[in-house]
Amino acid sequence: MGQLDGYKFAGGSMRLLPRETTRKIIRLCHEYGVYVSTGGFVERVIVEGSAIVDRYLEDCKALEFDMVEVSSVFAPWGWRIK
């Protein structure tokens, strides 16, 4: 049998679910020691400006995501990482 170590919400799919459903999925993953990634969605957020990025990152933290994935192929370079 295989083993699952990570769960990824593809392309911001967590935004299509009710917030509580997203939270339940994340908590279930954590119960089984599975880390949870946002998938490659921050690239869409970055173009909205730093205030929106900050709000998005706070929301990810509140939902208890373990990592925010940044796909280098799509990331607009020239922005500063805080």
19-54 per-position pLDDT tens digit: 999 999 999 999 999 999 998 888 888 889 889 999
- How many angstroms separate the CA atoms of 54 and 57, rounded? 5
Place of tokens 């911001």: 12
The H or E element containing residue 43 is helix 42-46
Task: Give the distance from CA 54 to its chain's centroid.
Answer: 13
pLDDT of residue 23: 96
Contact (Cβ atoms closer than 8 angstroms) between residue 43 and residue 73 = no
Q: Is the pLDDT of residue 1 over 70?
A: no
Two tokens at 30?
Answer: 């954590």
d(CA 76, CA 48): 12
What DSSP designation does 80 have? P
Query: What is the CB neighbour count within 10 angstroms for residue 20?
Result: 8
Instruction: Give the chain's mean pLDDT.
Output: 86
